[in-house]
């Protein structure tokens, strides 16, 4: 339970907001849960909802909106491909399909080695660079625009090499 392990951190987060606006602490609390569990679990969503006196569906609805929050564990590196309409019109959906096919997974899946998850997300604010994706990993977030399946696979090979040598 987050409240037991992180009571001082939670108190510090809640102290930043007036009592009548404590629901504003939902994102920092979700981030705390994700750091602890690797994703925002259902149990964490329930606990956060209880802490903030809001409905758990209000907490859960944020998972689908924010690309930096996840409701299930994934690979060490998350490749999030923008599949919003402007990017789709520039081939993003076909790019995502072909990349997943080469990796032997479905969109939303993780490679058997646990290294790479590929997800479709909405709007990464780089429509002019589609197909594009962001990679979330231990070193932060990097954007990659104007991608081909070959360039994405080369990047994935580089990530795996980096992991093997690190």
Domain with CATH 3.40.30.10 in the chain: 77-165
pLDDT of 101-119, one tens digit each? 999 999 999 999 999 999 9
Q: What's the topology of domain 2-65?
A: Arc Repressor Mutant, subunit A (1.10.10)
Beta strands in 8-155 (DSSP E): 77-82, 116-121, 133-137, 140-144
Q: Which CATH number fits domain 77-165: 3.20.20.100, 3.40.50.720, 3.40.50.620, 3.40.30.10?
A: 3.40.30.10
H or E element that contains 149? helix 149-165
pTM (predicted TM-score):
0.78
pLDDT of 10-40, one tens digit each? 999 999 999 999 999 999 999 999 989 989 9
């Amino acid at each position: 339970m987050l409240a037991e392990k992180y009571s001082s951190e939670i108190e510090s987060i809640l102290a930043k907001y007036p009592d009548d606006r404590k629901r504003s602490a939902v994102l920092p609390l979700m981030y705390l849960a994700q750091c602890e569990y690797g994703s925002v679990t259902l149990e964490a969503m329930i606990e956060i909802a209880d802490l903030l006196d809001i409905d758990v569906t209000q907490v859960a609805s944020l998972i689908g909106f924010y690309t930096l929050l996840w409701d299930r564990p994934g690979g060490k590196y998350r490749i999030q491909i923008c599949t919003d309409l402007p990017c789709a019109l520039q081939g993003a959906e076909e790019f995502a399909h072909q990349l997943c096919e080469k990796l032997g997974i479905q969109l939303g899946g993780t490679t058997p080695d646990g290294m790479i998850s590929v997800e479709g997300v909405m709007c990464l604010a780089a429509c002019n660079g589609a197909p594009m994706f962001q990679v979330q990993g231990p070193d932060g977030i990097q954007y990659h625009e104007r991608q081909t399946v070959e360039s994405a696979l080369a990047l994935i090979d580089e990530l795996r090499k980096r992991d093997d040598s690190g």
